[in-house]
Amino acid sequence: MPTTEPTGAGARPALAPELARRCYLDMLTARRIDEEAVALQRQGVFPAYVSLRGQEAAQVAGALAIDAERDFAFPTYREMGVALALGVDMPGYMASHRALWHGGLYDPAASRFAPINAVVGGPVPHAVGWAVGERLRGGPGCAVAYFGDGASSEGDVHEAMNFAGVYGAPVVFFCQNNRWALSVPNERQVAGGSVAARAAGYGMPGTAVDGNDAAAVHTAMAEALERARSGGGPSLIEALTYRVEPHSTSDDPTRYRDLAEEHAWRERDPIPALRARMEADGSGDEAFFTEAEKRAAERAEAVRDAVAAAPEPDGSELFTHVFREPTEELARQRRVWREEVEL
């Protein structure tokens, strides 16, 4: 039966010291890149941006359980921390937020990280399709499908989970439940109050974990991936976290939620929480945390400068990679565009 209480309610999992240090550095780096990205939007470099602040543990700790040699992650538009943990070229990833190219300028096949998908629930059926194909070819990989609590109400997600359950696809459905589907709270769009509980209807285990507890997330993801690799089929993980920033830089959350709620969740910040556990168990000392801050800031600044300086693509690329064989209408539009830009 699915577990609907966070793993953290009982015995708390722990991270090995080296893994904890890697996780902390990546979480902190994701936070610093996120801050630079918001600043770039305010400066007009990015037309818009979606922040992951508060969800670093859910993204980074889970991604560190993924095997980048054989698995494949299918992200939404908010999984910058997953991209970072998997070693994706970050200026190439951030190029999508600057609107330089659909899905980013990195290599999805080499990165094992699919192009950014802004369709709500869109990555989920893609992940299942890849997982079924991987099983049919006898490959060892698993797919990880990322989606939010709002996307869990989409028909595509239900169909994909049912298909995966019927065919035993090696896929992990990873829901970051950040409590708000844009301006709609959980209680108004998740019947029964739990995404994890729905897993039973698709013949798979569902587990809810504290999404701000890096060790709990990592443990849940590692267990789900191992289950899929051993032929156990799909799993659903619901990482209970919170979106402390607006849905995007175009959003005003003061119109629909209480500031006191935001402040309470900021006190549950996953980065200081991981630091406290590392200090308590000896995984990190003051020298490590000082060096991590330095490295994270330097990496964030390098990513900022690289994506801001990246050249804009030629306008003719509006018409490439649309159809394998261009249609007459597309050719006409390209001629009209060329005539206009050459005036």
d(CA 85, CA 107): 15
The number of angstroms, rounded, from the C-alpha of 127 to the middle of its chain's C-alpha atoms is: 13
Distance CA(212)–CA(42), nearest Å, equals: 28
Count of C-beta atoms within a 10 Å radius of residue 340: 9
All residues at 6 or more sequence positions from 151 whose CB lies less than 8 Å from its CB, including other chains = 76, 120, 121, 124, 157, 175, 181
The catalytic position among 247, 275, 277, 304 is 247
Three-state DSSP at 45 gives coil
* Catalytic option among 256, 266, 335, 338: 256
Q: Is 106 a catalytic residue?
A: no
Among 243, 275, 277, 299, which one carries the catalytic annotation? 243
Placement of tokens 């009209």 in the chain: 336
Rg, Å, the chain Cα set: 20
Q: Which amino acid would we find at residue 307? A: V
Say how far apart CA 156 and CA 215 lie, in whole Å: 30
CA distances from 138 to 169, 176, 183, 211, 336 (A): 12, 30, 43, 33, 49
The yes-or-no answer on residue 243 being catalytic is yes
| Active site residue ranges | 243, 247, 256
